[in-house]
Chains A and B, each alone.
Chain A
Amino acid sequence: MRSLAAFRMVVHDRSSTAGALLGVVAIVFLVGQQLSVLFGLLNYMSVLVDHSNADAWITSADLRNADAGNLISARYLDRAMGFPQVQWAAPLLIGNGLFRTPDGSFEAIRVVGCRRPRLAGGPWDFAEADETALLDFESVTVDRLDFEKLGRPAVETVTEIGGRRVRVGAITDGARGFQGTLVFAPFDKVKEVAATPPGRYSAILLRFLPGIDHDDAVARLRSAMPGCSVFTTAELSRLTRLYYFTNTGIGGSFGFSTAIAVMIGIVIISLTMYASVLGRYRDFAVLRALGGRQRDVAAVVFSQALLIAGVGVFIGFVLLAALLNATRGSAIPSYMPSYVSPLLAGIAIVVSLLGSLVALRQALKAEPASVFH
């Protein structure tokens, strides 16, 4: 009956309920949107590593993030292949270049070179054509998300990167790096474009044989190759994300705006619930006079907060889903790992309960004796 009373009050006091709902929806939607952009950016940061399909990476020593590796000697490729745990090893060469757009201007890009025929570290999803395009020495890919920026270079467009002739062979889908536009090309094309000295790689990708303990294999590689760094793919991904997260101010800025959104939500919920309880002061006094204890009054207030939180979380998620749907496939980074939703709902509920504390204080002041005046 207490929760029924709470429900009826919530339904009846429409304006304050709408206000408190707005607070909850704002938290779910704003914080959710922030988080989806953050996780979208995190994905961009480690996009090459995450999609490399490799078990481990060999890079230059003291690497701080996957985009800032120095060139390493090709000797390591042979040495890695000599390990009994290694199924295959493939080099990756990443260089910078200027892409000539069809209208004659230039865009700075990162060219990722992978070696035929395995194309390890190469593109993974395609909007048009496929990876067989990279089997041709001249061929490069551009991404759907960068299509406008690069001047709409359709498949078969012939242009230049770093003054070298290339042909757009395929259009990738969702290959976007945190550092900018990614163009995949055959290994030797990148060597030519970036003018890398011979016998040098940006990284070596490894795949272990089935059933091999990855951590153990990586440890062995490390001790055998003290001149470079060896990471499991997951380690390198984490290192890179953490690097950008802490060194670019992204973490601080997202943390700050999320905290502000949560605070605004708390304030809205507090104010509206407080106003609602003030308007219901007499009713709470009546509940007390009829034999309600303080904890019964608290139960009514908390039930109201939980009801509003529940409905608000629902509306917030519907809006958030609509936003994520609308921005999916666009250049706006957005990604929502599955564990974030319950977390977000939990935050919204805790915030609602916190917001109702001020109102609760007021409701508990309702004196049963006041009903006689």
Chain B
Amino acid sequence: MHGLVLEHIARDFTDGRQVRRVLFPTDLEIAAGELTVLAGPSGSGKTTLLSIIGLVLRPSEGRLVLGNRDVSRLGEDAAAGVRLREYGFVFQQPMLVEGLSILENVLLSVAVQGKRPSKAMRKRAMDLLASLGLEATANQQPRLLSGGMKQRASIVRALLKSPSILLCDEPTSALDAESGQVVVRILKRIAIEEQRVVVVVSHDARVFPYADRLIKLENGRVVSDTREQYVEGSGLAS
């Protein structure tokens, strides 16, 4: 699995006539096989950075290199193709599509460009749902599930295509402490056992103990970037 390299990535927003730099030039290498947590106060640019990494927002400056490829200047359709093949997303809200069953929601992540999901893919979806304790919900409507179950279902949706990069924005903030822990443990396990790039944005202190690497942003700048020191003593993946 390849990592991600950010070279001098910066982002400006214009509100009104004024151009405001929200993210100052940032260089980062994000490796597979560890849980990277992006922390910082509100408005510090975490979501902006994650959106750029996730190819849904273009940087104003700099390059984003995935494998050997600069993916920061791709056209809309090409970026969508990369998102479809390489990325899994978990949002603050589960964002499941009402009307589609849990299984259909999960399958949508591989079939959004119109392809029909294969039998093998269906089986994998069922296995993943089962591994997160959701096998009984496969044919249910999202609204019948608890917040924690929905968030787990959205993790299954992100994992179905075996993405090399998993991006999560505040995946625990809408959950109670217990469901939140379950979710973080799952993410940690995926990073380590499946050797993927996993980036979690969070300002939830309960997430930090699980981080292999903790990057702190303030006012659009990386102010600290620490490895491993939070890990000891915390209960690891279940």
Contacts and interface: CB of A to CB of B under 8 A. Distances in A.
Interface of A: 1-2, 4-5, 8-9, 11-13, 282-283, 286-294, 296, 299, 367-369, 371-373
A290 B104 contact: no
B100 interface: yes
Interface in B23-74: 47, 50-51, 54, 56-57
A8 B113 contact: no
B13 to A, nearest CB: 12
Main SS at interface, chain A: helix
Contacts of A290: 83-84, 89, 108-109, 112, 157
Chain B interface category by residue count:
35 or more
A71 B128 CA distance: 91
A330 B75 CA distance: 64
A293 B76 contact: yes
Interface in B84-107: 84-85, 87, 89, 91-92, 95, 97-100, 104, 107
Contacts, number: 94
B81 interface: yes
A1 B51 contact: no
Residue from A2, A12, A292, A367 having most chain B Cβ neighbours under 10 A: A292
Contact of A296 (B47, B85, B112, B117): B112
Residue from A291, A299, A371 having most chain B Cβ neighbours under 10 A: A291
Contact of A293 (B54, B77, B89, B116): B77
Contacts of A2: 111-112, 114
A52 to B, nearest CB: 58
B77 A8 contact: no
Interface of B: 47, 50-51, 54, 56-57, 76-77, 80-85, 87, 89, 91-92, 95, 97-100, 104, 107-109, 111-117, 157, 169
B56 A292 contact: no
B47 A372 contact: yes
Contacts of A289: 54, 56, 83, 89
Given A5-B97, A371-B89, A296 B50 contact: no
A1 B56 contact: no
A288 B80 contact: yes
Contacts of A367: 56
A273 to B, nearest CB: 15
A5 B113 CA distance: 12
Nearest to B169: A372
B169 A1 contact: no
10 contacts: A4-B104, A8-B100, A9-B97, A286-B91, A287-B97, A289-B89, A291-B81, A293-B76, A293-B77, A293-B113
Contact of A373 (B47, B83, B113, B116): B47
B164 to A, nearest CB: 14
Nearest to A4: B104
A292 B113 contact: yes
A8 B104 contact: yes
B80 A291 contact: yes
A282 B97 CA distance: 9
A371 B170 CA distance: 12
B75 to A, nearest CB: 10
Given A11-B99, A372-B51, A292 B80 contact: yes
Given A1-B111, A287-B108, A371-B91, 14 more contacts: A1-B112, A1-B116, A12-B98, A13-B99, A283-B98, A288-B56, A290-B109, A291-B109, A292-B80, A293-B80, A294-B76, A294-B77, A372-B54, A372-B169
Contacts of A293: 76-77, 80-81, 113
B108 A368 contact: no
B47 A8 contact: no
